[in-house]
């Protein structure tokens, strides 16, 4: 049985909308927002370390 989650990838249609949802509504921390090449954007978020139960989904 799985008890923890490492990293997952979620494809979104609008990065700014996704950042707003995860950071402002769910309380996640924005780790990075990079554009390594034209047309490519990589956003990383994580549960805030001070939130209880951050290791549970």
Is 29 domain-assigned?
yes
Look at 47 and 13; give whichever has higher pLDDT. Answer: 13
DSSP code of residue 51: S
Question: How much is the average pLDDT of 11-21?
Answer: 96
Question: How much is the average pLDDT of 10-14?
Answer: 94
Is 2 domain-assigned?
no
Residue range of the domain that includes 28: 7-52
Is 27 domain-assigned?
yes
H or E stretch including 29?
A: strand 29-37
Is 11 domain-assigned?
yes
Residue written as token pair 């909308």: 17
Report the number of distinct structural domains present in the chain: 1
Is 57 domain-assigned?
no
Is 24 domain-assigned?
yes
Nearest to 26 by CA among 40, 46, 11, 44: 46
Six token digits for residue 46:
């994580």
What pLDDT, in 10s, does the model give residues 17-49? 999 999 999 999 999 999 999 999 999 998 887
């Amino acid at each position: 049985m799985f008890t923890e989650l490492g990293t997952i990838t979620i494809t979104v249609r609008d990065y700014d909308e996704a950042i707003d949802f995860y950071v402002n509504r769910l309380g996640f921390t924005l780790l990075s927002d990079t554009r390594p090449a034209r047309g490519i954007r990589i956003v990383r978020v994580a549960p805030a370390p001070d939130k209880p139960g951050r290791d549970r989904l």
